[in-house]
Amino acid sequence: MKSDHRPLAVFDVDGTLADSGHRQHHLEGRRRDWNAFFAAAVDDPPLPEGVRLALSSAEQCEIRYLTGRPERCRRDTVAWLAEHGLPEGRVYMRRNDDRRPARHTKLEILRGLGREREVRMLVDDDELVCDAAEQAGFAVVRAHWAKASAALRDAQEREGRT
């Protein structure tokens, strides 16, 4: 996959392109089952609003994917994107041992991308990620088309797993 010189449109995966609602129950209770949560991602239905936005954005922008999923999920994530007809694009994932909140990991990568190229927009469902990106000067589209459970929001911020 070769890079071009168009501006970048950067898309989150879970809650933006993929509906993770069916697997969020793995994060409820005292013992969160992260392995089951990520293993079930292959069965996520696509979110039509996010897919449409990615496809239309690809007309003017190079697409990149920025997910809080750990690196060990790369093969399944890339296969899922292709299976659902999303544009080709480089996928940025967190290191398997990185437990920082997504607002830190994603902003670090986004800033690096911004040093290389114009980032036309970030599309993400995590309000804290969106707030941090806006404060850093990035244009943000807030993906309000999927509902995250309270357990998922808490896990994202406290455990830095997605």
Instruction: Please compute the mean of the pLDDT values over residues 51-79 and round it to a whole number.
Output: 97
The pLDDT value given to residue 151: 52
The pLDDT value given to residue 124: 96
Q: What is the pTM of this model?
A: 0.89
Going by pLDDT thresholds of 50, 70 and 90, the confidence category of residue 88 is very high
Radius of gyration of the chain (CA): 15
Q: What percent of the chain has pLDDT over 90?
A: 72
> Are the beta carbons of 25 and 59 closer than 8 angstroms?
no
Instruction: Please compute the mean of the pLDDT values over residues 75-97 and round it to a whole number.
Output: 96
For the segment 126-159, what is each residue's pLDDT rounded down to a tens digit?
999 999 999 999 999 999 987 765 555 555 555 5
The pLDDT value given to residue 146: 78
Q: How far, in Å, CA of 141 to CA of 112, rounded? A: 19
String of b and e for 29-40 (b: at least 16 CB within 10 Å)?
eeebeeeebbeb
> Are the beta carbons of 93 and 70 closer than 8 angstroms?
yes
For the segment 22-37, what is each residue's pLDDT rounded down to a tens digit?
998 898 878 889 899 9
